Amino acid sequence: MYLEGLTGRGVRVAIIDSGVNPHHPHVGGVAGGAGIGPGGEHDLYLDFLGHGTAVAGAIREKASDALLYAVKVFDRTLTTSVDTLLQAMEWSIRHEMHVVNLSLGTIKQEHRERFEQMMDRAAQAGIVVVAAREASGRPILPGCLPSAIAVGLDWNCPRDAYRYEGGTFFASGYPRAIPGVSPERNLNGISFAVANMTGFVARAREAGDPGGLRKLLIDALGKCPI
């Protein structure tokens, strides 16, 4: 893997998703978390869909000593509101996260100003937001904003590498393998490109200041096969 010798030690990573099963062997526990919804915040963040747990497992694989926090915004379906998503980012700022993993977002550009303001606050707090840049060729907020570590999907990229092109980091869309389950039948897609990249970001964040993190990632670049 790239960024060798770094494990994300001490780096707090908020996983904004469907929650996490902390007892899953790929996860190895979480440091905390919250559930966020129309009724406000609560302390129930168990994953009923498996998506956030698979995301956490992919991050843990690459950043074994990171402190993972489950920020649950999905419950029984992979849908949520812009207000809930912004509340989850607010939670991440308030609880002094270092990295936010955000596989989701919105294509509705009328919310751009709200996300710009939240991303500015996150940057001022030293938080690096790793997010999907687009879906079906359409830009997603907040991943399309300049301050985000924008992630794209590359099916040919090995899971222990990433590449950088045109301001976007590209990573594999596959999570950690499950014995006896073919990759095609397992969860896959942009969510796991973001998660794989978040693992690398957590390792880079261990190395130093968030302001220089993008350059560090580029300097440590691992090219995917052509």
Please tell me the predicted confidence (pLDDT) of residue 179: 73
Domain count, the chain: 1
Residue 149, C-beta contacts closer than 8 angstroms, at least 6 positions apart: 128, 129, 130, 131, 169, 197, 201, 213, 214, 217
Q: Identify whether 7 is part of a domain.
A: no
Q: Identify whether 4 is part of a domain.
A: no
Percentage of residues in the chain having pLDDT higher than 70: 94
3, 207 Cβ separation under 8 angstroms? yes
Q: Identify whether 6 is part of a domain.
A: no
Q: Identify whether 195 is part of a domain.
A: yes
Model confidence at 51, in pLDDT bands (50, 70, 90)?
A: very high
Torsion angles phi and psi, residue 102, rounded to 5: -135, 95
Distance CA 218, CA 177 (A): 27
pLDDT tens digits, 180-200: 666 766 788 999 999 999 999
Residue 77 vs residue 25, higher pLDDT: 25
Q: Identify whether 3 is part of a domain.
A: no
* Residue 42 burial (CB count, 10 A): 11
Q: Identify whether 92 is part of a domain.
A: yes
Mean pLDDT over 153-174 rounds to: 95
Model confidence at 216, in pLDDT bands (50, 70, 90)?
A: very high
pLDDT tens digits, 121-149: 999 999 999 999 998 889 999 999 999 99
Model confidence, pTM: 0.94
If you average pLDDT over every residue of the chain, what do you get? Answer: 92
Q: Identify whether 178 is part of a domain.
A: yes
User: Is residue 30 predicted with pLDDT exceeding 80?
Assistant: yes
Range of the domain at 57: 12-219
State the DSSP string of the chain. --STT---TT-EEEEEES---TTSTTT---SEEEEEETTEEES----SSSHHHHHHHHHHHH-TT-EEEEEE--SSSS---HHHHHHHHHHHHHTT-SEEEE---B--GGGHHHHHHHHHHHHHTTPEEEEE-EETTEE-BTTTSTTSEEEEE-TTS-TT-EEEETTEEEE-S-----TT--TTTS--SHHHHHHHHHHHHHHHHHHS-GGGHHHHHHHT-BPPP-
Model confidence at 93, in pLDDT bands (50, 70, 90)?
A: very high
Percentage of residues in the chain having pLDDT higher than 90: 79
34, 41 Cβ separation under 8 angstroms? yes
Please tell me the predicted confidence (pLDDT) of residue 223: 59
Q: Identify whether 97 is part of a domain.
A: yes
Model confidence at 1, in pLDDT bands (50, 70, 90)?
A: low
Mean pLDDT over 49-63 rounds to: 96
Please tell me the predicted confidence (pLDDT) of residue 163: 95
Sign of the Cα torsion 97, 99, 102, 107 reads: positive
Token code pair at residue 1? 């893997």
Residue 113, C-beta contacts closer than 8 angstroms, at least 6 positions apart: none
With CA atoms as reference, report the closest residue to 2 among 185, 153, 217, 178: 217
Please tell me the predicted confidence (pLDDT) of residue 226: 44
Distance CA 142, CA 132 (A): 8
Distance CA 206, CA 210 (A): 9
CATH code assigned at 161? 3.40.50.200
